[in-house]
Structure 1
Amino acid sequence: MLKNVSIMPFKRCSSMLLRCHSTSETDYKSKWVKTVIDAEKLVEYTSSIDNLRWLLKDTSSNIGAYIKKLDGSTHPILKISKSLLSTEKSSIQMWGLLIKLVSKAAGYKGSSDQLETVVQNQQVLAEVSELIKIGHLVHTGILNHTEKVLKDKLSEVVNGNKIALLTGDLLLVKANGMLSNIRNAHVNEMISSALRDLTDGEFIGERDLQNFPMPSVPAKEKPELIFNPREDLKLSYFFKPSPTFDSLDTNDCIGNPVREWTMRTILGGGTLLGRSCEGTVHLAGHDQEFQNNGFVFGCHASLVWQASADINTFNSTASEAFSLVSAPVLFGLYHNPSLYDLIKPGFNDEESVEFDQIRKIIKEGPALDYTKTLLQEHKEGAIKCLENFPISDSRIVLEKMVEYM
Structure 2
Amino acid sequence: MWGALLRRGGRGAGGLRGLASGGPPWSQVVSEAEKIVGYPTSFMSLRCLLSDELSNIAMQVRKLVGTKHPLLDTARGFVYDSRNNLQMRGLVVLLISKAAGPSTADLSFQHNMVSGIYSSQRSLAEITELIHTAFLVHRGIVNIGELKSCNGPLKDMQFGNKMAVLSGDFLLANACTSLAQLQNTKVVELISSAIGDLVQGIYYENSKSSEENCLTDDICISTWKEQVFLSHSALLAKSCQAAMELAKHSTEIQDMAFQYGKHMSMSHKLHSDLQPFVKESSPDTVAFSLNSAPAVLHQEFLGREAWIKQIREAQGKGNIMDYKKLQGAIKAGKGVTSAIDLCRFHGNRALAALERFPPSEARAALANIVYAVTRFP
TM-score range, shorter chain: 0.7 to 0.9
How far did 1:196 drift?
Answer: 0.7
Alpha-carbon distance change, 283 to 256 in structure 1, aligned in 2, over 3 angstroms: same
1:80 corresponds to which of 68, 74, 78: 74
> What is the CA deviation profile of residues 164-186 of structure 1, one whole-angstrom value per residue up to 9, with x for unaligned ones?
21221121111111111111111
- RMSD across aligned C-alpha pairs, in angstroms? 3.7
- TM-score of the superposed pair, with normalisation by structure 2: 0.80
Name the structure 1 match of 2:108.
Answer: 112
Name the CA distance, whole Å, in 2 between partners of 1:296 and 1:22.
Answer: 22
Does structure 2 conserve the Cα–Cα contact (< 8 Å) formed by 1:301 and 1:378?
A: yes
What is the aligned length?
350
Name the structure 2 match of 1:287.
Answer: 250
Name the structure 1 match of 2:170.
Answer: 170
> What is the CA deviation profile of residues 35-72 of structure 1, one whole-angstrom value per residue up to 9, with x for unaligned ones?
2222111111453656569959x9x9443334433334
- Are 2:292 and 1:326 equivalent residues in the alignment? yes
Does structure 1 conserve the Cα–Cα contact (< 8 Å) formed by 2:27 and 2:84?
A: no
Q: % of aligned pairs identical?
A: 32
Alpha-carbon distance change, 45 to 339 in structure 1, aligned in 2, over 3 angstroms: farther
> What is the CA deviation profile of residues 122-147 of structure 1, one whole-angstrom value per residue up to 9, with x for unaligned ones?
00101111111121122111112216
Where structure 2 has 5 or more consecutive residues not aligned to the other structure, the ranges are 10-16
Does structure 1 conserve the Cα–Cα contact (< 8 Å) formed by 2:123 and 2:178?
A: yes
Does structure 1 conserve the Cα–Cα contact (< 8 Å) formed by 2:298 and 2:334?
A: yes
Name the CA distance, whole Å, in 2 between partners of 1:39 and 1:76.
Answer: 30
How far did 1:354 drift?
Answer: 3.2
Name the structure 2 match of 1:358.
Answer: 326
Letter matched to residue 369 of structure 1: T
Name the CA distance, whole Å, in 1 between partners of 2:233 and 2:138.
Answer: 18
- Are 2:306 and 1:311 equivalent residues in the alignment? no
Letter matched to residue 179 of structure 2: L
Name the structure 1 match of 2:301.
Answer: 335
> What is the CA deviation profile of residues 363-403 of structure 1, one whole-angstrom value per residue up to 9, with x for unaligned ones?
22221101100111011000000000011111111111111
Alpha-carbon distance change, 19 to 104 in structure 1, aligned in 2, over 3 angstroms: closer
How far did 1:113 drift?
Answer: 3.4
Give the match's secondary structure for 1:73.
coil
Name the CA distance, whole Å, in 2 between partners of 1:155 and 1:162.
Answer: 11
Does structure 1 conserve the Cα–Cα contact (< 8 Å) formed by 2:99 and 2:358?
A: yes
Give the match's secondary structure for 2:119.
helix
Name the structure 1 match of 2:94.
Answer: 100
Does structure 1 conserve the Cα–Cα contact (< 8 Å) formed by 2:276 and 2:285?
A: no
Letter matched to residue 293 of structure 1: M
Name the CA distance, whole Å, in 1 between partners of 2:150 and 2:37.
Answer: 51
Does structure 2 conserve the Cα–Cα contact (< 8 Å) formed by 1:53 and 1:84?
A: no
Where structure 1 has 5 or more consecutive residues not aligned to the other structure, the ranges are 7-12, 219-254
Q: Map 1:33-52 to 2 at 5 A.
A: 33-47=27-41, 51=45
Letter matched to residue 288 of structure 2: F
Does structure 2 conserve the Cα–Cα contact (< 8 Å) formed by 1:55 and 1:64?
A: no
Name the CA distance, whole Å, in 2 between partners of 1:309 and 1:185.
Answer: 34
Letter matched to residue 260 of structure 1: T
Higher helix share: 2
